[in-house]
Amino acid sequence: MDPLPTPKSSSEVSASDLEACIAAIDEQGNDRRAGIFGANSISWKINRESALFLGAGRAALLQLAHPWVAAALDQHSSLLQNPISRFHNTFRTVFTMVFGSADQAFRASRSLHLLHTRIRGKIPAAVASYEKDSPYEANHIPALRWVYATLIESAVYAYECVLPPLSDAERAAYYSEARVLAGLFGIPPDALPPDWGAFKAYVYEMCQSQALGVSERSHFMAHRLLSGSGSWIMPPRWYRALTTEWMPPRFRVEFGLRFGRAEEASAARARWSLPRIYRSLPAAIRFVGPYHEAQARLIDRTPDLPTRMSNRFWIGEAKLPFKE
């Protein structure tokens, strides 16, 4: 079951499909140096916040709830051995698309598509509506759409945890821009919900459907991530509690995530204290390095040392990639 059927005869994104999406974005005529959104966009306002890290655990677990995505991560990534590398790879791609110049964003898009063409395999065990040994491919639109949806929705969860909730107009603008971003994943507009309300309905329907399901391996991978295994970052108890609170009830059960009184209290304390701490942070820490780099680019300045250090944390490199 796919709650939002793909209108193409073939749901795999080809190189020509991606180029058509890129061309449509390029034809919007934005300032190429400012990128596909620019400094006044809601996408920059949300994605510049280092609070996005709060939603990373939720997005990762929801991705593991998709059998195709879980199998691909297990068989073709360093998620378990080096989760920090996976973190860097994800944010390097997304931040380059959001904060890079148009040329950088388009090159990141093509690089991601090329990487995905090599990610194919078979699901190792039956789960949800998927039979054992059924094939998967990373450039499949329904799978890409789910990964994209987890990132878009989890960013809002994280943002509103520490800052005032977005207005209806801001949510509408954010989703409108997110539909543009989806094109860089190769997802055409007609394969996406038309507005924020429809998008939320899509996520809800997916979470009720047999398009998602947690296997024993996905369960194992999720708990490895939440325990910090394979990395130097040990997620604190409040982070695990907050991640669990934000999960759909079905997946709290399927992933075996405990959410009793102690976890509820821990999440509540985090929601009370984090905004007070977060809003007092200096801009150099509160806003991510790629945002500072983009601001410097717009005034023809080289990223300073704090920006390069922040980039190292977020994307594993001192500067956004694909710069001419």
Model confidence pLDDT, tens digit, residues 248-276: 999 999 999 999 999 999 999 999 999 99
Which pLDDT belongs to residue 1? 41
Which pLDDT belongs to residue 79? 81
What are the counts of helices (DSSP H) followed by strands (DSSP E) for the chain?
16, 2
**273-312 as b/e, with b when 16 or more CB fall inside 10 Å?**
ebbeebeeeeeeebbbbbbbbbbebeeeeebeeebbebbe
pLDDT tens digits along 139-173: 999 999 999 999 999 999 999 999 999 999 999 99
From the first residue on, what is the mean pLDDT of each consecutive set of 10 residues in the chain (324 residues)? Answer: 47 94 91 94 98 96 96 89 88 97 97 95 95 94 96 98 97 97 96 97 97 97 89 88 97 97 97 96 97 97 96 96 82
Which pLDDT belongs to residue 274? 97
**139-175 as b/e, with b when 16 or more CB fall inside 10 Å?**
bbbbbbbbbbbbbbbbbbbbbebbeeebeeebbebbb
- Domain residues of the chain, as ranges? 15-280, 281-312
140 phi/psi in degrees, rounded to 5? -85, 125
| Pairwise CA distance, residues 98 & 104, whole Å | 10
| Pairwise CA distance, residues 294 & 44, whole Å | 10
Strands 120-122 and 135-137: antiparallel
Which pLDDT belongs to residue 229? 81
Token output for 72? 């691909």
